Structure 1
């Protein structure tokens, strides 16, 4: 199957079956999403969603967050992975958001990455989710699923990002990020992918290899020992 055909089948299926796919992080405005995404690094969305209600109640905006020390923020996020570093990042981000960006979350990926705790992946999430920009955040799910499906052979997150952005329809890039994440989270699992129930196995390069391997095994004759 040609890569172009694979992309077409991928987009067609999810456009029909998950047209409203979105992040599972809970938020009500760009500031809250930025905080939640920073907290979600190497942590589950479920855990982040358990922590953020109290955090947002205490710090409803960047100005409130910028006015305290990281020690105070730590008390609200202690159950999150790497709470010390993330508390410092959140306070630093809030200060820059208030003082440099006039309390407006930037839409530009380069500007977003100037803030503490905001790497390329986080910046792409904000740009795509908040502004529907054609940005592709590549986390472990996106990296794994896109390579298994055969959408890319990229060996680094940046290479995968560039390949996906190049080949996906521009108006689908922002939502394709969620398609890949959700498919990886619930179907194309890292250790035990649910290929038997996967609705897009017909376009999957990984599944085709499994089928071929199984067919070759069945054809191999059993040698009887004397």
Structure 2
């Protein structure tokens, strides 16, 4: 009968020959077996505590997400319109700057601040707030201090897109009620397009 092979004690590191062919024996003497059992119990306690902490954090995170979702559901549609308009304007402004456009009203390409200026305002024509023909680059001087500098805006807009499309903007009196889902889609696309534009510029 083959003798049991030597094993290394998990406590003291000394080699020993187990009395039986029991692969579970990992200690050289009962005292070290007791020490090993206590160490493993402590490890299990630590592991169990870590698991509980992780589960608690996950539960708290899920709770925060649910509360955030409930808060979002209570927000009025105008909140999402404003959020989406900011994201859309950010993309449109950066896209026009990257394409080499200047202020549509005065033509300057050097400005203290750039805006995405609406030809027809969002108050007068909310249905056109995301219409690309209606949004062009403007310097802050024209957009804010000259109330849009609309006469110059229109003249340049005719040169850019043609009289027919300008008249289409001016005669558009449709009503449109944006839904939360529609706004979420517009905002997500604008943000994705802006990220792609910045990555392209950085490459």
TM value normalised by structure 1: 0.26
TM value normalised by structure 2: 0.28
Structure 1 or 2: more strand by fraction: 2
Decide which structure has the larger Cα Rg and report it: 2
